[in-house]
Amino acid sequence: MAIWNIETPIEDRFRKKLCAGDSVSLSGVIYTARDAAHKRLIEALKHGDSLPFDIRGQTIYYMGPTPARPGHVIGSCGPTTSGRMDAFTPALLAAGLSAMIGKGERSAEVKETIKKQRAVYFITYGGAGALLAKTVRKADIIACPELGAEAIMRLEVEDFPVIVANDMHGGDLFEQQLARYRRK
């Protein structure tokens, strides 16, 4: 397992090298979107409308922020369960999304689409939202402010810690770990 420091958007040449289980430190811009925002993104794609950001090559973090305390950029910003976005993910990957961050396993369809679209799915540390917030340098709502915590945000992060869960080669960290414990 490798340890990577990668700038976003993540270039294809780096995504090719990533393998399930690799630790990655992301720096650059990532976008946030949860269930309600995903529905709106999919509706925009269906109607041929433009999205609030150019999705090609970007990373979406499935995150639920809390309000920022005075003097802080963002409140706690831990991951939410990725499986809730599985119905929307294939269309977003087909539109050019290249990476996702969340927690938990993905469906078989999403894992196949990750391979087909040469994308990557990262997981990050659930229960560590306050620590993850320390990596956020700037946070701006860019769309759907009426959704509150589910608004689409643009985050600038530095050394945001993630682990490759599903790579473009079909590697699956969850399956690897289950197999490892079955052998013991």
| Domain boundaries of the chain, sorted by first residue | 3-183
Q: Which tokens go with 176? A: 């690897």
What is the pTM for the complete model shown?
0.95
Instruction: Please tell me which residue in 38, 47, 72, 169 is annotated as part of the active site.
Output: 38
Mean pLDDT over the full length of the chain: 95
Q: What percent of the chain has pLDDT over 90?
A: 88
Burial letters for 52-80: b for 16+ Cβ neighbours within 10 Å, e otherwise?
Answer: bbebeebbbbbbbbeeeeeeebbbbbbbb
Question: Given a cut of 70, is residue 109 above it in pLDDT?
Answer: yes
CB 29 within 8 A of CB 8: yes
Architecture (CATH level 2) of domain 3-183:
Alpha-Beta Barrel (3.20)
Residue 114 CB burial class (10 angstroms; 0-12, 13-18, ≥19)? buried
Residue 169 annotated as catalytic? no
Average pLDDT over residues 3-29: 95
Burial letters for 150-172: b for 16+ Cβ neighbours within 10 Å, e otherwise?
Answer: bbbbbbbbeebbbbbbbbbeebb
pLDDT of residue 4: 87
The pLDDT tens digits for 47-92 are: 999 999 999 999 999 998 888 889 999 999 999 999 999 999 999 9
Strands 120-123 and 99-102: parallel
Average pLDDT over residues 24-36: 97
Please report which confidence band the pLDDT of residue 3 belongs to, taking 50, 70 and 90 as the band edges: confident
* Euclidean distance between CA atoms 116 and 120, whole angstroms: 11
Question: Given a cut of 90, is residue 1 above it in pLDDT?
Answer: no
More reliable by pLDDT, 181 or 53: 53
